[in-house]
């Protein structure tokens, strides 16, 4: 504090005379006080001092701070909201640089370098430090976007990192520019005069308080207002005011939706129903459709089994098509229920999304909220007319659709097939596979042998188109004792098959190859050999012809002896492998009737 009485007590006339030259008489006292005060200021670099503007030009103001030389301050350091500086105004400035033995400071007209703007910032910082501490909540305006975050004015400029702007980082933090925000002071660096704040920590702290309160009052069945905060493929997260709940896509609407964005959008305010609460894990399941009446109520009364309804195809899968009967009510038409006759490889062959079709209710599951539907049931079943259209014994024409090991499927009309079994292809020929006589796509005439309407099966015959040669032609043509010529078609360990005519074979048993024992039939004959054999027996019941090679040159006496021996053997029980009797030798009586037998 300056002692004004001390100043007035000065009696040195020389001093007063000098003062009078420097200032008017009525200002001398004030001038001395100011200059005396200035002498008490600290003139070290980095200190703030107060000075008087003594001169102004277009670029700067000359400021006397009471040092041995003035300093300049650029006029651009006065903001547009400040009064225009005038000579005589007092201003606080920061001493940036002093003159030393190396020369003058970086100032065009003085020995010291001054800054008004930096002085103000330091003063603001010091004032702020008196009121702000770490952990304190501050309020400020976002002024601009900088690298890594935002600059916020809370009286001084502070840094709000981008990761601390919100709980979920916004797409563009620049949207916050101009907004007034509240944040928590995370760190104060007094040396660098830097403050870092966090809006996120403040929100999290508030949400934790809100979450605790919300979990206490939240109950299943409550209807709440929430804000959609995030959307995923499986649903949306809704902020109920401190805690997020999951609104699953299946709980958004009673009808089918492809994506949650069809029902909700980010920041949308919606009303939801609390479906489930896990207080331990703090998880909440929400529903939107549950606020409305469940369309599945009284579904059995509304859609009774065997009733027919119009619908719209809403989805097509490999196993069937989903059909909407009304909003929230859908059913599945399985691929097997699409057509009576057509072989459907994929439902898209018959229906596509958006198609309007008629369906019949086949089954209702109220608990599982499922409907089983049928398309073909709305049309007449062609199998209802099969008995009338394809009676037993009728000759029909069809196309070979498929070949299997056991037969061929003949398409009589679209969706109506009959099975031609391999055993019904020829009276005489032994067919191992249908491909030996048929080929796919071939037109063929067959006869209806039987119709099983309940199992939807039709049995066809090819050989039945002709008379059975075993009923007369073969027994008449091949008599026991007759010599015939044939070709060796197949050789087995038990004998040789001889082709007598197209499709007709006889068996030349290994015991009938030679008078000597034969271990390997190929020692006697080869496939393709043309040989003469004798007919031993014709069995029409078993459809077999027994042949002999060794008896071709036998006399009547030899035949009688052999017949007697075989008759004697027939009285002894013998176990035989029926598989080795293909061709039909049999054991009932003489193979070749003798003259005595005929008598």
Q: Which of helix, strand or coil describes residue 507? A: strand
Of 16 and 565, the structure prediction assigns the larger pLDDT to 565
pLDDT given for residue 353 in this prediction: 93
Compute the average pLDDT of residues 56-74: 79
Compute the average pLDDT of residues 37-61: 70
Please check the confidence at residue 581 and state whether its pLDDT lies above 80: no
Rounded to whole angstroms, how far apart are CA atoms 115 and 170? 39
User: Of 240-244, 389-393, 446-450, which gets the smallest average pLDDT?
Assistant: 240-244
pLDDT given for residue 37 in this prediction: 45
Q: Are 227 and 268 in contact (CB under 8 A)?
A: yes
Task: Record the tokens describing residue 387, joined without a space.
Answer: 């008995």
132-203: in CATH 2.40.50.140: yes
Phi, psi (degrees; rounded to nearest 5) at 434: -55, -25
pLDDT given for residue 317 in this prediction: 93
Angle at 569 (CA atoms; ends 568, 572), nearest 5 degrees: 105
**Residue 365, strand partner residues:** 370
* Residues 6 or more apart in contact with residue 93 via CB below 8 angstroms: 48, 49, 50, 51, 63, 65, 71, 73, 114, 115, 116, 119
- pLDDT band of residue 228 (cuts 50, 70, 90) is very high
- Mean pLDDT score of the chain, rounded to an integer? 79
- pLDDT band of residue 238 (cuts 50, 70, 90) is very high
pLDDT tens-digit series, residues 144-154 = 988 888 999 88
- pLDDT band of residue 16 (cuts 50, 70, 90) is very low
DSSP 471: G
DSSP 492: -
pLDDT tens-digit series, residues 276-315 = 998 888 889 999 988 888 888 888 889 999 999 999 999 9
Compute the average pLDDT of residues 194-204: 86
DSSP 216: H
pLDDT given for residue 332 in this prediction: 95
Query: For 390, left (φ over 0), alpha (ψ -120 to 50), or beta?
Result: beta
The CATH 2.40.50.140 portion of the chain extends over: 47-100+110-123, 132-203, 218-287, 298-374, 382-461, 476-551
pLDDT tens-digit series, residues 30-40 = 544 455 444 44
- pLDDT band of residue 51 (cuts 50, 70, 90) is confident
Of 334 and 156, the structure prediction assigns the larger pLDDT to 334
Q: Which of helix, strand or coil describes residue 226? A: strand
Q: Are 247 and 287 in contact (CB under 8 A)?
A: yes
- pTM for this one? 0.42
Task: Record the tokens describing residue 238, joined without a space.
Answer: 């809704």
Of 408 and 256, the structure prediction assigns the larger pLDDT to 408
Q: Which of helix, strand or coil describes residue 186? A: strand
Rounded to whole angstroms, how far apart are CA atoms 592 and 599? 14
Compute the average pLDDT of residues 550-569: 75
Rounded to whole angstroms, how far apart are CA atoms 116 and 129? 20
CATH C-level class of 47-100+110-123: mainly beta
From first CA to last CA, the distance across the chain in angstroms is 172
CATH C-level class of 298-374: mainly beta
- pLDDT band of residue 108 (cuts 50, 70, 90) is low
Please check the confidence at residue 185 and state whether its pLDDT lies above 50: yes
pLDDT given for residue 292 in this prediction: 83
pLDDT given for residue 582 in this prediction: 38
Task: Record the tokens describing residue 478, joined without a space.
Answer: 């091949």
* Residues 6 or more apart in contact with residue 500 via CB below 8 angstroms: 478, 484, 486, 506, 545
Burial (CB < 10 A; 0-12, 13-18, 19+), residue 487, is middle
pLDDT given for residue 44 in this prediction: 63
Closest CA relative to residue 75, chosen from 95, 55, 100: 55
Of 507 and 575, the structure prediction assigns the larger pLDDT to 507
pLDDT given for residue 30 in this prediction: 53
Closest CA relative to residue 73, chosen from 44, 50, 40: 50
Please check the confidence at residue 220 and state whether its pLDDT lies above 80: yes
Q: Which of helix, strand or coil describes residue 22? A: helix
Compute the average pLDDT of residues 323-328: 90
pLDDT tens-digit series, residues 459-505 = 998 888 877 777 777 777 788 888 888 888 888 888 888 888 777 88
Question: What does DSSP say about strands 504-509 and 544-548: parallel, antiparallel, or unpaired?
Answer: parallel
Please check the confidence at residue 265 and state whether its pLDDT lies above 50: yes
Q: Are 360 and 315 in contact (CB under 8 A)?
A: no
Name the fold adopted by 218-287: OB fold (Dihydrolipoamide Acetyltransferase, E2P) (2.40.50)
Rounded to whole angstroms, how far apart are CA atoms 236 and 256? 16
Q: Are 238 and 218 in contact (CB under 8 A)?
A: no
DSSP 262: G
pLDDT given for residue 109 in this prediction: 53
Task: Record the tokens describing residue 433, joined without a space.
Answer: 């596979």
Please check the confidence at residue 171 and state whether its pLDDT lies above 90: no
DSSP 428: S
Which architecture does CATH list for 382-461?
A: Beta Barrel (2.40)
- Calculate the CA 450 to chain-centre distance: 50
- pLDDT band of residue 12 (cuts 50, 70, 90) is very low
For 340-364, give the DSSP string.
SSS--SSGGGT--TT-EEEEEEEEE
Task: Record the tokens describing residue 469, joined without a space.
Answer: 């040669």
Q: Are 533 and 506 in contact (CB under 8 A)?
A: yes
Closest CA relative to residue 330, chosen from 298, 307, 301, 299: 299
pLDDT given for residue 363 in this prediction: 93
Phi, psi (degrees; rounded to nearest 5) at 43: -100, 35
**Residue 153, strand partner residues:** 141, 157
Query: For 140, left (φ over 0), alpha (ψ -120 to 50), or beta?
Result: beta
476-551: in CATH 3.40.1190.20: no
Three-class SS string for 143-177? EEEECCEEEEECCCEEEEEHHHCCCCCCCCHHHHC
């Amino acid at each position: 504090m300056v002692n004004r009485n001390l100043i007035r007590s000065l009696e040195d006339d020389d001093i007063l005379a000098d003062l009078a030259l420097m200032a008017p008489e009525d200002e001398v006292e004030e001038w001395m006080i100011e200059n005396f005060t200035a002498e008490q200021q600290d003139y070290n670099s980095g200190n703030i001092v107060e000075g008087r503007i003594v001169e102004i030009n277009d670029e700067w103001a000359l400021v006397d701070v009471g040092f041995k030389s003035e300093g300049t301050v650029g006029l651009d350091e006065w903001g547009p909201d400040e009064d225009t500086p005038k000579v005589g105004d007092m201003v606080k400035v920061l001493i940036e640089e002093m003159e030393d033995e190396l020369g003058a400071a970086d100032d065009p007209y003085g020995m010291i370098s001054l800054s008004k703007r930096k002085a103000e910032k330091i003063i603001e910082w010091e004032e702020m430090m008196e009121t702000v501490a770490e952990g304190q909540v501050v309020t400020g305006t976002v002024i601009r976007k900088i690298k890594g975050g935002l600059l916020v004015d809370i009286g001084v400029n502070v840094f709000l990192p981008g990761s601390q702007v919100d709980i979920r980082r916004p797409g563009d933090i620049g949207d916050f520019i101009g907004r007034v925000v509240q944040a928590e002071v995370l760190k104060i660096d007094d040396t660098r005069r830097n403050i870092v704040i966090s809006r996120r920590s403040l929100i999290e702290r508030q949400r934790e308080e809100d979450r605790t309160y919300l979990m206490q009052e939240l109950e299943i069945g409550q209807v709440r207002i929430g804000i959609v905060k995030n959307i995923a493929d499986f649903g949306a997260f809704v902020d109920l005011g401190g805690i997020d709940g999951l609104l699953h896509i299946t709980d958004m609407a009673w009808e089918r939706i492809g994506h949650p964005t069809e029902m909700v959008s980010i920041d949308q305010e919606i009303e939801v129903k609390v479906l489930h609460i896990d207080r331990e894990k703090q998880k909440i399941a929400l529903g939107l459709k549950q606020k409305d009446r469940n369309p599945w109520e009284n579904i059995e009364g509304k859609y009774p089994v065997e009733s027919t309804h119009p619908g719209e195809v809403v989805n097509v899968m490999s196993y069937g098509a989903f059909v909407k009967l009304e909003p929230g009510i859908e059913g599945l038409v399985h691929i097997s229920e699409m057509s009576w006759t057509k072989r459907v490889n994929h439902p898209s062959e018959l229906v596509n999304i958006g198609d309007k079709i008629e369906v019949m209710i086949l089954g209702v599951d109220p608990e599982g909220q499922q409907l089983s539907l049928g398309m073909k049931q709305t049309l007449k079943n062609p199998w209802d007319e099969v008995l009338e259209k394809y009676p037993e014994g009728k000759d029909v024409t069809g196309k070979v659709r498929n070949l299997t090991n056991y037969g061929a499927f003949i398409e009589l009309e679209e969706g109506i097939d009959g099975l031609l079994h391999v055993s019904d292809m020829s009276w005489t020929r032994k067919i191992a596979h249908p491909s030996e006589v048929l080929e796919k796509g071939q037109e063929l005439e067959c006869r209806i042998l039987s119709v099983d309407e309940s199992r939807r099966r039709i049995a066809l015959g090819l050989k039945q188109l002709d008379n059975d040669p075993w009923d007369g032609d073969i027994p008449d043509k091949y008599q026991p004792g007759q010599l015939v010529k044939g070709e060796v078609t197949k050789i087995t360990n038990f004998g040789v098959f001889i082709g007598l005519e197209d499709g007709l074979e006889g068996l030349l048993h290994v015991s009938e190859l030679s008078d000597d024992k034969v271990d390997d039939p190929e020692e006697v004959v080869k496939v393709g050999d043309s040989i003469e054999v004798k007919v031993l027996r014709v069995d029409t019941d078993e459809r077999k012809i027994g042949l002999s090679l060794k008896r071709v040159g036998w006399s009547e006496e030899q035949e009688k002896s052999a017949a007697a021996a075989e008759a004697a053997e027939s009285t002894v029980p013998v176990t035989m492998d029926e598989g080795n009797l293909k061709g039909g030798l049999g054991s009932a009586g003489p193979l070749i009737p003798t003259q005595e037998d005929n008598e």
